[in-house]
Structure 1
Amino acid sequence: MIFSARAEYGVRLMVELGRAKPGHPVSLKAIADAERLPLSYLEHVVARLKRAGLVRSVRGAYGGYTLARPAEAITMDEVVAALEGAIAPMECFVSVRPDRVACSHEADRGRTCATKLLWTRVQGGITRALQQTTLAELVAFAEHGPRTDGAHAGEAAKQSSTEAPVVA
């Protein structure tokens, strides 16, 4: 499955907002420059994120955008859903409910689509990966890079110095 540039740019925008000091709005121009992204496109992306309640705008000379919630409370499934809609690995999948996807070929010849099991598992795997990834993890990864002990970068913030490392 290939996500659109809108999803990529939106996640990068969210990471930049997550890197900012809390209470300090970041301008879209600063994000566009830092990430080398087109400003006009970011304006459309941030509008979707704002409608989804993931970012807030601040007006004024020192205005810009901030996260609507702490980075730890924002999961990537929320971000991707705001930007892409429902995740469907094949065009033959149609949305039934926001949390379910069903194959449109089910009515064909009165039998179940032969590939539905595979594509349902693919959809579920992608959804779980997005649900289990927080913005805070991506921010930590962006700032510190991959962990050499095999753990995810975001897990470092969750561990105290006395705990054993978490291995992925």
Structure 2
Amino acid sequence: MKISTKGRYGLTVMIELARKYGEGPISLKSIADDKNLSAHYLEQLAAPLRNAGLIRSVRGAYGGYILAKEPENITAGDVIRVLEGPITPVEGIEEEEPAQQALWMRIRDVVKDVLDTTTLKDLIVHDDTKPQKEYMFYI
């Protein structure tokens, strides 16, 4: 499974909103300027995130976007599914041989586990000195 710029930049927006959680609305333009991204592109990503109930828009002179839930209640998987669709490493696995199907499903399950157990809070308090969970794949 390859995550496109939609998923990557959408997750960037969500992480930045999580960092500022409780401080009021943040404009997408400020995130775009800070991260050297297109504000117009981020606006396009905001609509599905808003429709999914992950962010809320605040109108007005000091408006922008805020998280609709606390950072510990939104996972990377929530964001990726909204912007990228279902998490599947291979399309049409039902046509594969059983052994291959099992492999693709195991890979899918590991990716889902990582995305669904990693919250926005985890991403904003990430510590490079802590050992990360390792996954061993046998092929």
Q: TM-score, normalised by structure 1?
A: 0.74
Q: Find the partner of 1:129 among 85, 104, 114.
A: 114
Describe the SS at the equivalent of 1:22. Answer: coil
| Moved beyond 2 Å, runs of 4+ | none
Q: Deviations over 1:112-160 (max 9, x none)?
A: 544101000010000000111000011112xxx41x2x346xxxxxxxx
Matched with 1:47 is 47
Amino acid at match of 1:128: D
- Distance (whole Å) between structure 2 residues aligned to residue 83 and residue 45 of structure 1: 7
Query: 1:104-119 alignment to 2 at 5 Å?
Result: 104-105=94-95, 112-119=97-104
- Distance (whole Å) between structure 2 residues aligned to residue 15 and residue 36 of structure 1: 15
Q: TM-score, normalised by structure 2?
A: 0.89
Query: 1:63-82 alignment to 2 at 5 Å?
Result: 63-82=63-82
Query: 1:1-168 alignment to 2 at 5 Å?
Result: 1-92=1-92, 103-105=93-95, 112-141=97-126, 145-146=127-128, 148=129, 150-151=130-131
Q: What percentage of residue pairs aligned between the two structures are identical?
A: 43
Higher share of residues assigned helix:
2
Describe the SS at the equivalent of 2:109. Answer: helix
**Higher CA-based Rg:** 1
Aligned residues: 134
Higher share of residues assigned strand:
1
Q: Structure 2 vs 1, CA of residues 21 and 76 (structure 1 numbering), >3 Å: closer, same or farther?
A: closer
Question: What runs of 5+ residues in structure 1 fail to find an aligned partner?
Answer: 93-102, 107-111, 153-166
Q: Structure 2 vs 1, CA of residues 21 and 119 (structure 1 numbering), >3 Å: closer, same or farther?
A: closer
